[in-house]
Structure 1
Amino acid sequence: MNERARHRSLGVAGVAAAITFAAVGTAQAADPPMVGGGSGIIVDSQAQCTLTTVGYDRGGRLLGLTAGHCGQAGAKVVTEANPNYGVVGRFVYSNPELDYALIEFTLGKINPVARVGETTITGIGAPAQFPAVVCKKGRTTGTSCGVVWGNLRAAHHETWTQLCVLEGDSGAPVMSGSTLVGMVNAYLAVGCLGPEVGTNMSAISADLEARDDVGAGFHPIQ
Structure 2
Amino acid sequence: MFRKLAVAAVALAAGVVPAGAQTGIAHASSPAVLGGGSGIVIGNQGVCTLTTIGHDAAGRLVGLTAGHCSQAGTSVVAEANRDAGVVGTFAYTNAHMDYAVIEFDPDSVIPVNRVGNTTITELGGPAQFPDIACKQGYTTGQTCGLAYGDVFQSNNWAWTQICVLPGDSGGPIMVGTTLVGMVNGYLYVPCLGPQLGGNMAAIIDDIDTRGGVGAGYDPI
Both proteins in one fold, TM over 0.5: yes
Q: CA deviation at 1:53?
A: 0.3
Count of matched residue pairs: 209
For residues 144-155 of structure 1, the aligned pairs below 5 Å read: 144-155=143-154
Name 1:38's counterpart in structure 2. 37
Residue 145 of structure 1 aligns with an amino acid whose one-letter code is C
For 2:16, which of 3, 6, 10 is the aligned residue?
Answer: 10
Q: Corresponding residue for 2:117?
A: 118
In structure 2, how many angstroms separate the alpha carbons of the residues matched to 1:103 and 1:93? 7
The CA distance in 1 between the partners of 2:30 and 2:176, in whole Å, is 30
Contact 2:19 2:46 in 1 (8 A): no
Stretches of structure 1 that go unaligned for 5 or more consecutive residues are none
Cα pair 1:53 1:65 within 8 Å, conserved: yes
- How far, CA to CA, are the matches of 2:193 and 2:120 in structure 1? 24
What TM-score does the superposition give when structure 2 sets the normalisation length? Answer: 0.90
Amino acid at match of 1:130: F
Native 8 Å contact 1:165 1:194 kept in 2: no
Q: How big is the shift at 1:154? A: 5.0
For 1:212 and 1:33, the matched residues in 2 are separated by 27
When the two structures are superposed, what TM-score results if normalisation uses the length of structure 1?
A: 0.89
- d(CA) in 2 for partners of 1:14 and 1:166? 16
2: distance between equivalents of 1:57 and 1:93? 14
Q: Does the 8 Å CA contact 1:129/1:150 hold for their aligned counterparts?
A: yes
Overall identity of the aligned pairs, in %: 54
**C-alpha deviations, 1:66-103, integer Å up to 9, x for none?**
00000100000001101121100000000011100000
Q: What CA RMSD, in Å, does the superposition of the two structures yield over aligned residues?
A: 1.7
Which structure has the greater CA radius of gyration?
1
Runs of 5+ unmatched residues, structure 2: 1-5
Q: Deviations over 1:114-164 (max 9, x none)?
A: 111211100101312111111000000100110011112352200000000
Partner letter of residue 44 of structure 2?
S
